Structure 1
């Protein structure tokens, strides 16, 4: 029984990793007063590019650099369209998500002549796992926390780094000031447009790690639409936490738990359609619950007044 629980908790951390990256990426733009609805496309672009370049060059470093470049290129296209050409940010982001679902398949077909995945067609490199020196020898805890992919540990380190950036640095103060009142920030010499570009670029960098984890850590190949809505679930985690990195991580872990449960449901005699919809039903249920709690709190505060 204990062994099953340890394996399940290990699985929760494993499947939560891309959600943590996505949620933290969304927190950066939220603090700048924006919603990054294009996390899905950033993760897709980096996942495919990392596999293609690492396979072609047989260099993990070049593959990951290319993955970062692909995601940041997406952010720059969206930022230029929204903040320079004055297009609607959210429509541009949704269009980018839709375009990349088909675009990644098209690019994959050009390089591999395959439309399902790159397995067997490209010898992609991948990021390995890591045993934690002291923790691995601790009963139960070692089985849960040790032996994960290196990018899993990077994800939780990123939570601290983003929190530190937002609350303990000058640039973080500027991001938050623009998010709270762009006109006031501009009056003291801070360029909101520059902050918007910067926050989207940082968000793309973090989201790229989530995409490359999916194709070069969780799996070792790229598959058609492999992000499978994780970008939107990450947005939900960020919204629940109102843009706070630590709280967003906890919310992402809740969704990761639902995802892990759906994986374990495959061992039972559950319909495949039910298993596929389970994480998303949990997402909607949690969002509804949080909305009800906030409404109740707001009503209670008004009654006090």
Structure 2
């Protein structure tokens, strides 16, 4: 077993699959990060991905144009995010409960819409939908091992990598990032500073919807070539856990998402050694959640130790001052 795993993790094909598996979870984790920084949790990411996946397949099949399908899928995802914003920010409903409700509607609604339009039950087998292209990177493709891993990936994998840079710039370099953080830290203080918290939260929800749209379309038009019932497979929920581990940073999202990608890719290989299919399907989620728990525990322990030392130092200074 050890030799098998060692052989897998050193192969270029394994790391190619890792990057492919990481891309969708990375995109939705970035979406969860930016909304969390504004003080609102986008629990509707799962539903956004489902509607994007279905809409992209239907529109690309109807127009025979993959890019129109992609734009339509992103539009559907943004619409879900805006509906969440309407409930949570305008009607003052609980954002978590509203998000979960939207996810439940999407789970059954996508299957209903697919059946109503095509007669297909659970999989869009009758739709001749288009597939997002893969890109071959000049020069890089000729580098031994690295070329096999990096080059030839689906375009959304590269979009996910670019998204990390864009979200990092938004949060750390641009003025809008300071407004987002101010809104998330203290709404009243942000409002006193002339910031419109509702507008900022809607902005982050739109960005989150765009990222989830790319992820959803990738699942049905890149990762696979059709829509299937529940194709998001809990990635939206995992992303909301991952953003906590990411620590509110775009770079941290890479490591949180990579943990899922590593185990998801390994599960693909473990199918060949006779393990129970149910165990293999659960493995990426179980290992990812366990990893999140360990990382969060270690980080909280370090933070508690830092506060303890700070308190001890403050108490010592006070004693010295009293003695003087």
Coarse TM-score class (shorter-chain normalised) = over 0.9
Deviations 1:73-129 (A, max 9, x none): 11111101111111111100011111100100000101110112112x111111111
Q: Is contact 1:16–1:253 with CA below 8 Å preserved after alignment?
A: yes
CA distance in 2, matches of 1:11, 1:39: 23
Q: Are 2:154 and 1:149 equivalent residues in the alignment?
A: yes
Shift of 1:221: 0.8
CA distance in 2, matches of 1:178, 1:288: 27
Shift of 1:262: 1.0
What corresponds to 2:318 in structure 1? none
Q: Which has the larger radius of gyration?
A: 2
Deviations 1:164-215 (A, max 9, x none): 1111112222111111111111112111011111111111011100000001
What corresponds to 1:91 in structure 2? 97
CA distance in 2, matches of 1:106, 1:167: 42
What corresponds to 2:133 in structure 1? 128
Q: Are 2:76 and 1:43 equivalent residues in the alignment?
A: no
For residue 78 of structure 1, the aligned residue among 81, 84, 96 is: 84
CA-based RMSD: 1.4
Alignment of 1:198-277 (within 5 A): 198-277=203-282
Aligned structure 1 segments of 4 or more residues deviating by more than 3 angstroms: 1-4
- Relative to the length of structure 1, the TM-score reads 0.96
For residue 194 of structure 1, the aligned residue among 185, 192, 199 is: 199
Greater Cα offset, 75-84 or 164-173: 164-173
CA distance in 1, matches of 2:243, 2:147: 29
Q: Is contact 1:76–1:197 with CA below 8 Å preserved after alignment?
A: yes
Q: Is contact 2:74–2:210 with CA below 8 Å preserved after alignment?
A: yes
Shift of 1:2: 8.3
CA distance in 2, matches of 1:250, 1:93: 25
CA distance in 2, matches of 1:274, 1:65: 36
Q: Is contact 1:236–1:283 with CA below 8 Å preserved after alignment?
A: no
- Relative to the length of structure 2, the TM-score reads 0.91
Q: Secondary structure at the match of 2:42?
A: coil
CA distance in 2, matches of 1:160, 1:4: 28
**Equivalent residue pairs, number:** 304
Q: Is contact 2:9–2:15 with CA below 8 Å preserved after alignment?
A: no
Unpaired segments ≥5 residues, structure 2: 1-6, 313-324
Q: Secondary structure at the match of 1:130?
A: coil
TM-aligned CA distance change 1:133 to 1:187, over 3 Å: same
TM-aligned CA distance change 1:114 to 1:128, over 3 Å: same
Q: Is contact 2:8–2:14 with CA below 8 Å preserved after alignment?
A: no
Deviations 1:136-158 (A, max 9, x none): 00011111111100111011011
Unpaired segments ≥5 residues, structure 1: none
What corresponds to 1:109 in structure 2? 115
